[in-house]
Amino acid sequence: MSDQPRLPRHVGIIMDGNGRWAQLRGLPRIEGHREGAQSVRDVTRAARRLGLEALTLYAFSSQNWARPADEVRALMQLLCDYLRDEHDEIMDNQIRLDAIGDVERLPPHVRDPLDALRAESAHHTGMTLTLALSYGGRESIARAIRAVAADVAAGTLAPDDIDVDRFGAYLPTTRLPPLDLLVRTSGEQRISNFMLWELAYAELVFVDVMWPDFRKDQLHEVLDQYAARERRFGLTSGQIAARAELTADDSDVET
Ligand code: IPE
Ligand code: IPE
Ligand code: MG
């Protein structure tokens, strides 16, 4: 798919359906999470090869802490295993690993290797792989508002200067390109508290396959769907067409 005409810069994925994948096979839910980790590997590798700038994966929500303790424990162990097993792949492929969310809540056996790999890969200029861990979109906005309020109280920010760009700079996603495409697996058509601010103009694609069955081929399919969409950002179709023509003219001149 290297000839992808309109590749998104930043793709976010709500990786849902691990439990149902397992239950459909008469397996414990954790087996679905284990197989889901293979999808993370496959999709990350494919995204890097395609040349995406950023891939953000919703791995554990603020609300997922309320799941049964043994499932939470197993998920934390899988995360820890993932960070150990993927270390070389991430380093060898110039991937910058980052995390968003309330990572202080993660147990030390996850947080320590996470912090270490974030630091070790911080200078990488290939794709940024962001894991949303203990993450909630509303929590993320509330945290940003606390920081804004603190700066206003300290006198370093004037309330009248707070606009979309200024506020966005307080969010943990500020270094990433705008979110172009949001994918959710498992057939559910909801956002479940993921990147609420960032998805303002993202294209949404919902697919029926469970996350453990979402691999390279399925990624290519959703990218095809994305390429066929017309993103208008509030403009008319005619304006978009005129802009595309201008861009084409520009590249004619350059070549
Ligand atoms: C997604 O799969 C993984 C996490 C939320 C951690 P689920 O565990 O939500 O699987 P379903 O939705 O119950 O099938
Ligand atoms: C969203 O899935 C969170 C992740 C994929 C990490 P959930 O399974 O937690 O969402 P709901 O409960 O179906 O909305
Ligand atoms: Mg789910």
For ligand 3, the distance from its centroid to the CA atom of residue 32, given in whole angstroms, is 11
**Do 39 and 25 meet the contact criterion of CB atoms below 8 Å apart?**
no
Active site residue 18: no
pLDDT tens-digit series, residues 202-252: 999 999 999 999 999 999 999 999 999 999 999 999 999 999 899 888 776
For ligand 3, the distance from its centroid to the CA atom of residue 20, given in whole angstroms, is 8
pLDDT tens-digit series, residues 12-32: 999 999 999 999 999 999 999
Q: Residue 1: which pLDDT band, with cuts at 50, 70 and 90?
A: very low
**Do 55 and 7 meet the contact criterion of CB atoms below 8 Å apart?**
no
Q: How much is the pLDDT for 250?
A: 76
- Considering the candidates 42, 64, 81, 151, report the single residue annotated as catalytic: 64
Q: How much is the pLDDT for 167?
A: 98
DSSP secondary structure letters along 19-48: HHHHHHTT--HHHHHHHHHHHHHHHHHHHH
Active site residue 16: yes
- CB of 93 within 6 A of ligand 2: the answer is no
Domains delineated in the chain: 10-252 (3.40.1180.10)
pLDDT tens-digit series, residues 42-82: 999 999 999 999 999 999 999 999 999 999 999 999 999 99
CA nearest neighbour of 46 among 85, 82, 11, 91: 11
Q: How much is the pLDDT for 3?
A: 46
Mean pLDDT of the chain: 96
- The residue-averaged pLDDT of 92-109 equals 98
Query: Ligand 2, from 18, 61, 140: best to mutate by most atoms within 8 Å of Cβ?
Result: 61
Taking the model in full, what pTM does it have?
0.96
Q: Please say if the pLDDT value at position 110 is more than 60.
A: yes
